[in-house]
Every structure is written in structure tokens, then in C-alpha cells.
Amino acid sequence: MLSQLTADFDPEAVARGVEMYRAGGVTLAPRSRAEIARFFEGLEPVEPGLVQLTDWHPELAVGETVDEDAVISLYGAVARKP
């Protein structure tokens, strides 16, 4: 299981966030979808695969309203060893 910050959706906002964390001594490393996908090579992805977190089984959000237009600068995926 992995969730990872990305600048794919809102690069300017992510750059500001990275800089704010850097000023506090924390290093963040946003990665592109292709860079994240490499972590799953040789594994069997669980549906829906590597997607923006808002697309990871929104039907399971019990009692929550899912904003389908929300931009969350995170990818997530789950995979199994074959």
C-alpha cells in the first residue's frame, strides 16, 4: 500500500507546500504517476490501481459526501505479491 504526494494536478500549490515544509526542516518529494508506478512493478494491483485518492473506492465512504471535483495531490494504490 502506498500513498504519495504528486505535483501532477496542482504544481503551484504543491510547490508552495513543499517550500513551507522545507522551511520547517522537512523534506517532501512529490513524484509523478510514472515515478510512483515503478514501486508496483512485479506486483498485482488491486482495483482501481494507481489513482488519485479521491478515486480510490469513493463508494465506500460511509456517511461522507465525496466531492468528485476535489483536487487531492496524492496518488494511492494497493498491490499484492504474485
Global pTM reads 0.85
- Average pLDDT score over the chain: 92
**Separation CA 66–CA 15 (nearest Å):** 26
Count helices and strands in the chain by DSSP H and E runs = 2, 5
Residue 17 has pLDDT above 70, yes or no: yes
Question: 3 in helix, strand or coil?
Answer: strand
